[in-house]
A and B are shown apart, each in its own frame.
Chain A
Amino acid sequence: MHSTAYIIRFTIVMTVIVAFVLALMVSGLKGIHTENEEVYNKKGILSAVSEQLGKDVNVMSNKEVQEIFGSKIEQKVVNAKGEELSADQIKVATGGAAAKAEDIDLAKEAKKPVDQRLLPIYVFKGNDNKNYNILYVRGKGLWDEIWGYVAMSEDWNTIAGEAFDHKGETPGLGAEIKENKAWYNQFTGKKLYDNTGNFKSVSVVKGGVKDAQHQVDAIAGATITSNGVDEMLERGIKYYEPYMQKVKKQEIKNQ
C-alpha cells in the first residue's frame, strides 16, 4: 500500500504535467484553430451564393476561401433602424472586439435587445456584375440553434441563394436543412414581398405548397426544425427591413 503522502504527491505531479502539456498544445494550436473557424464561417457565407462561384465551397482550400472572401465580398453592418454603421461605431457597440462584420460574435448579438443588435450584410459581387446581399438569420431548431445566410437579388425581393447550418439537429431529419440540397434549393426564387409591397417572408408549410411565391415544403419528420426555419426567416429578415426600405427609396431617387 502507498502512503497518503505518496498519493498526494503522485496526484500533484500528474496533474501539473497533464495541465502543462495541454496548455502548451492549446496555445500552440490557437492560431490554426482560429483560422479554421474563420474559414468555416466564411464557407458558410459563400455557400449562399454557391451558384455564382462555379466550384463547391467544401472542396476549396483555406487560401482560396480567404481570397474569394477578400476580393469579392464587401462587408457592411447595419442596425435595426436601418442605419449603416461605421467601423468606429461597430467597435463601440462590441466593446472593441470587432471592426468588421466577419469579426462580430453573432451568438452574443442574438442575446442583445433588437434595437442594439448589429446585423451583418455581406455584399457579394457576382460574375454577372450584380450585387448579392447576403443577410444573416438565426433561430431555434429542435435541439439547439440553427442559423442561415440568405442571398438577396438586387431587387431586394427575390431570394437568390441560401445556406443553413445547425448545431445539433437529428441526422436524416432536422439536419437535412443543411445537407439536402433539393430541400434548401426550394427557397431560391421565392419572394419576400407580396404584390402590394407588404413583407410576407417565405413560410415552410406542411402538406404541399399552395402559394408558389411565398411557400416551401417542410421536411417530413422534422416539423419543429421546419417551423424553426420558418420563424427564423420571418423574424430574422424583418430586422433588415428598415435598411432594405431605405436602400430601395435611395435607388428610386437615383433613377
Chain B
Amino acid sequence: MAEVQELTKKEPSSFSFGKAERKLITDPINDNNPVTVQILGVCSALAVTTLLTKAIVMGIAVTLVTAFSNMFTAMLRDYIPKSIRMIVQLVIIAFLVTVVELILKAVNYPIWKELSVFIGLIITNCILMGRLEAFAMSNKPWRSFLDGIGNGLGYSVILIIVAVVRELFGKGSLLDYKIIGPTSEYVLNTNQISWLSWYATNNLAILSPAAMFIVAIIIWVQRSRNRKLIDIS
C-alpha cells in the first residue's frame, strides 16, 4: 500500500495529456498489443470476425468496458478490500458488460442477435482482468481510463484487420457493401471481367481456422518489423 501511494504522489493530478499519457494509448496498439503480443482475447477474435460490422461493434463494446472498468477500479482502488478484490473487479466488469449489452439490444437488435453470447463473454476476456490487476489497481483513474482505451483499441485494431481479410475474401464484401463476386450485384463482377474470371470467394476465410492464420501472420509481420519485440517469446 505504501509503495502504491508513493507512486501516485509523483504523478500530476490533473487530466493532463502529455507524452506519458499518449504512450498509454499507443503502447497497447503496437508494442504491447493485447492480442498479438500478450496473446489475450484470441477466443473472441476467432468468433466475431466473420463480418466487419460485427468486429467493429465488438471492438467498441470491449473498448468501452476496458476504459470504464479501469476507471472505476482505479477510483475505488483504495477502498477495495484486498481479500475480495478479484470479485469486486468481476462485479465491475459484469456490470459494465450488462449495461453495454442492454444498450446494444436497444440500439441495434440484429447485431446484438448476431453477436449473441460473445457480448456476454466479454466478462471472461482476459484483457480486462489483466488490465485491472496490472494497471488500474495501482494507478489514478484518468491514467487508467487512457490505458483502458489504449488496450481496447489495440484489441479492436486486430479484430478489424482480421475481419477485413475474412469478409473480403470469404464473402467478397465489406460492411455488407458488395465488392467482388460472381453476380451483377457486386462492383467487380467476376463473370464479366475476363482477367478476374479465375476468382472465387474462399469459404475457408469464413471458418474459424482462417482467423488463426491471419492472427499468426499479423504476429509474424509485426515481429519482423518491430525491433522491440524480437526475442520476446
CB <8 Å contact, A10 and B50: no
A150 to B206, CA, bound (A): 27
Q: Is the interface of B mostly helix, strand, loop or mixed?
A: helix
Greatest chain A CB density within 10 A among B81, B84, B88, B170 is at B81
Interface string of B195-216 (1 = CB under 8 A from A): 0000000010011000000000
CB <8 Å contact, B102 and A10: no
A1 to B203, CA, bound (A): 57
B175 at the interface (CB under 8 A from A): no
CB <8 Å contact, B81 and A37: no
The contact size tier of chain B is 20 to 34
B108: nearest chain-A partner, CB-CB: A36
B206: nearest chain-A partner, CB-CB: A172
CB <8 Å contact, B95 and A21: yes
CB <8 Å contact, B109 and A1: no
A22-B99 contact, Cβ under 8 Å, with A33-B106, A168-B116: yes
A-B contacts counted at CB < 8 A amount to 58
A40 at the interface (CB under 8 A from B): yes
Residues of A within 8 A of B50 (CB): 171-172
Chain A min CB distance to B74 (Å): 16
Interface string of B49-67 (1 = CB under 8 A from A): 0100000000000000000
Interface string of A14-28 (1 = CB under 8 A from B): 110010011001100
Residues of B within 8 A of A172 (CB): 50, 170, 203, 206-207
Contact of B91 among A18, A170, A173 (CB under 8 A): A18
CB <8 Å contact, B84 and A18: no
Q: A1-18: which residues lie under 8 A (CB-CB) from chain B?
A: 1-2, 6-7, 10-11, 14-15, 18
Chain B residues at the A interface, C-beta cutoff of 8 Å: 50, 79-84, 88, 91, 95, 98-99, 102-103, 105-106, 109-110, 113, 116, 170, 203, 206-207
Chain A residues at the B interface, C-beta cutoff of 8 Å: 1-2, 6-7, 10-11, 14-15, 18, 21-22, 25-26, 29, 32-33, 36-37, 39-40, 58, 168, 170-173, 221
